[in-house]
Chain A
Amino acid sequence: MAIPSKTIKVFEELLESPQNRLVEQAVESGRIPIGYSCSFVPEALLMADKLFPLRLHAPGLAGTELADNYLSCFVCSYTRGLLEFAMDGRYDLLKGWVFVPSCAHMQRLYDNLEYLQKPDFNHILDVPRKVNNDTLLWMTEELQMLADKLAHHFGADMSDVSLRKAMEQWNDFASVVQSIGDLRKKPNPPINGAEFHQIVMASLASPKDLILPYILDFKKEIEQREGIKNSRARLMLVGGHLHDPEFIRVIESQGCVVVADRFCTGTIPGFKTIDINNDSPYKILAEYTFAKTLCPRMMEDFDRRLNTIIDTVKEYNADGVVLEIIKFCDLWGVDAMPLVSALRDNGIPVLRLEREYCLGGEGQLRTRVQAFIESMGK
Chain B
Amino acid sequence: MKLNTVFDNTKNTIMRLPELTKGFLKRSLVGYYFSAPRPREALILTKYWIMNWAAILYWIGQSIVKLGPIGFTRALIKHPWILILLRVNGLSNRVARDKTGVYHDTLCMTVHTVALGVINELRNMLFDAENLVIFEDLVPYDIARGMGLNCYMLELWGIVLPLLVSDASLQYIDEAENSGMNPDACSLPKATVGMVIKGQTPKGIAMVSSNLPCDAGAASYAFIQRAYGNIPTYRLDTPYNFYNERAEQLFAKDVMGMINFLEEHTPNRMDWDRMRKIFEGRNRMLELEMELWEMSRVKPTPLAGAAVWLSHLWHFNVSAGNPTSIRHYEKLVKMARKNLENNIPATKNERYRAILWNPPFLHFSDIFNWAESTYGVVLINDSMTYNHHEPIDTTSPETMIKSWGKTIMQGPMVRHTRGPAENYLDDIFRMVKQFDLDMVWVSNHLGCKGGQAMNGILREQCRAKGIPLLILDYDLSDERIVSHDNMIRQAEFFMENVMKAKRIDQ
Residues on A lying within 8 angstroms of B by beta carbon are: 69-72, 74-76, 101, 103-105, 107-112, 114-115, 124, 126, 128-130, 132, 134-135, 138, 141, 296-297, 299-300, 302, 325, 327-331, 333-338, 340-342, 352, 354
Contact B214 A72 (CB under 8 A): no
Q: Beyond the given A115-B421, A124-B240, A338-B226, could you list 5 further A-B residue pairs with CB under 8 A, ordered by the A residue number? A: A72-B452, A115-B457, A299-B235, A328-B184, A334-B182
Q: Are B216 and A71 in contact (CB under 8 A)?
A: no
Among the stretches B68-76, B109-117, B217-225, B271-279, the one at the interface with A is: B217-225
Q: Which among B180, B182, B185, B223 has the highest number of chain A CB atoms within 10 Å?
A: B182
* B157-199, CB < 8 A from A: 179-182, 184-186, 189, 193
Judge whether A299 and B237 touch: CB under 8 Å.
Answer: yes
- Per the 8 Å Cβ criterion, residues 406-456 of B in contact with A are 417-418, 420-421, 446, 449-450, 452-456
Smallest beta-carbon distance A35→chain B, Å: 19
Secondary structure class of chain B's binding surface, majority of residues? helix
Residue of A nearest to B454 (CB): A108
B-side interface residues toward A, CB under 8 Å? 179-182, 184-186, 189, 193, 209, 211, 214-216, 218-223, 225-226, 235, 237, 239-241, 246, 250, 253-254, 257, 417-418, 420-421, 446, 449-450, 452-457
Q: Once the chains are docked, how many angstroms separate the CA of A243 from the CA of B227?
A: 34
- Closest B-chain residue to A299, C-beta based? B235
CB-CB under 8 A from B221, the residues of chain A are 299
What is the distance, in angstroms, from A342's C-beta to the closest C-beta of chain B? 7
Q: Which residues of A contact B452 (CB under 8 A)?
A: 71-72, 74-75
CB distance from B358 to the nearest CB of A (A): 13
CB atoms of B180 and A336 under 8 A apart: yes
The residue of chain B having its C-beta at the shortest distance from the C-beta of A102 within the complex is B215
Query: Would you list 21 pairs from A and B whose C-beta atoms are within 8 A, ordered by A residue?
Result: A69-B456, A71-B453, A72-B449, A72-B455, A103-B215, A104-B449, A107-B450, A108-B453, A111-B420, A111-B421, A112-B457, A115-B421, A126-B241, A128-B237, A134-B253, A302-B222, A330-B184, A330-B214, A330-B215, A333-B185, A338-B223
Select from chain B the residue with minimum beta-carbon distance to A342. Answer: B226
Known contacts A115-B457, A297-B215; A130/B420 CB under 8 A? no
The answer for the CA separation of A297 and B220 in the assembled complex, in Å, is: 11
Is the beta-carbon distance between A135 and B237 smaller than 8 angstroms? Answer: yes
Most A-side CB within 10 Å, residue of B221, B418, B455, B457: B457
CA distance A274 to B15 in the complex (A): 71
CB distance from A272 to the nearest CB of B (A): 23
Please name the residue on chain A nearest to B453 by beta carbon: A108
Evaluate contact between A111 and B226: CB separation under 8 angstroms. no
Q: How far is the CA of A340 from the CA of B181 in the complex (A)?
A: 11
Cα distance A36–B347 in the bound complex, in angstroms: 53
Residue of A135, A331, A334, A336 with highest tally of chain B CB at under 10 A = A334
What separation, in Å, do the CA atoms of A284 and B186 have in the docked complex? 37
Q: B214's closest neighbor in chain A, by CB?
A: A104
Please determine whether A72 and B240 come into contact, CB atoms closer than 8 angstroms: no
Report whether A325 and B182 are in contact in the complex, using a CB–CB cutoff of 8 Å: yes
On chain B, the residues within 8 Å of A71 by CB distance are 452-453, 456
Q: Are A334 and B184 in contact (CB under 8 A)?
A: no
Q: What are the 6 tightest A-B residue pairs by CB atom distance, in nearest-first order?
A: A333-B182, A70-B456, A108-B453, A104-B450, A334-B219, A111-B421
Chain A residue numbers with a CB within 8 Å of B417 are 104
Interfacial chain A residues near B211, Cβ < 8 Å: 129, 299
Pick the contact of A338: B222, B241, B253 (CB < 8 A).
Answer: B222
Interchain nearest-CB distance for A182 vs B (Å): 30
A334:B239 contact, CB within 8 angstroms = no
Instruction: Flag if B222 contacts A330 (CB, 8 Å).
Output: no
CA distance A329 to B235 in the complex (A): 21
B5 to chain A, nearest CB (A): 36
Residues A296 and B219 in contact, CB atoms below 8 Å apart: yes
Residue contact A334 to B453, C-beta cutoff 8 Å: no
Contact B222 A335 (CB under 8 A): yes
Closest to A305 in B: B222
B76 to chain A, nearest CB (A): 29
